[in-house]
Structure 1
């Protein structure tokens, strides 16, 4: 070291550290609500897919085995478990993947497929979170299944 030469230590000053922490906190306050909303949407989508797969499995069961009276039933706990019933006994059953999601048949209808995969009339299944309807699965008389996202027709509170 020679006289008159100043050496500088590399590192962060307290001000730089505080500014960095403030930016991180601001980003976290923006990101956390978006994350929770995304998580709720994912849970709703997963539950909708669970219900949709059970409806399609019931229709497939009726058509492939040429059976009349294959029914999709909803349980007592917010509509869960959802079951496929043939001859009075459940052949498939799916429990709730997310306990905050509720499912219900619109207008108290029933969903029964005949050997051709048709129903006795149009039936809608409402899928909601905390009482707000978010999704509707509509099963037409022909047995065609539609997943309605934005155009809720039969699921009014």
Structure 2
């Protein structure tokens, strides 16, 4: 259900809760939405956990987390096809993004998937790779401790590792 792609003739209904105090609206909360598009109904229903689900109980949170951590940290090295390596001085691609975070920070899977690699690997140090469907694989490197095993299914936001010290 993507409300950014509504078409002429689509209809939707919204269910809200409103708290009132002395006749004044204090707080509102979205409880559910029904979208009718091309004769078919789509539902988003808020559960007790605060997340939205369809009528079959399937979660509606799609896409990836923006960061692989619970809070945002400073980017210490961006993706760069022609980066000068700070250690060797050589120009070589840096095909990832490094974050400056305290050692031992929990690293999270950015999406649902299956762990395909969880091992020590040369310059990457401890490293985890997660396949998300057929199209994407995310890689997490420079880790202090791995918390998952190859073949393990993970959900968006699951703790997969603890970070090493990267500045």
Look at both structures and tell me which one has the larger radius of gyration over its CA atoms.
1
Q: TM-score, normalised by structure 1?
A: 0.26
Higher helix share: 1
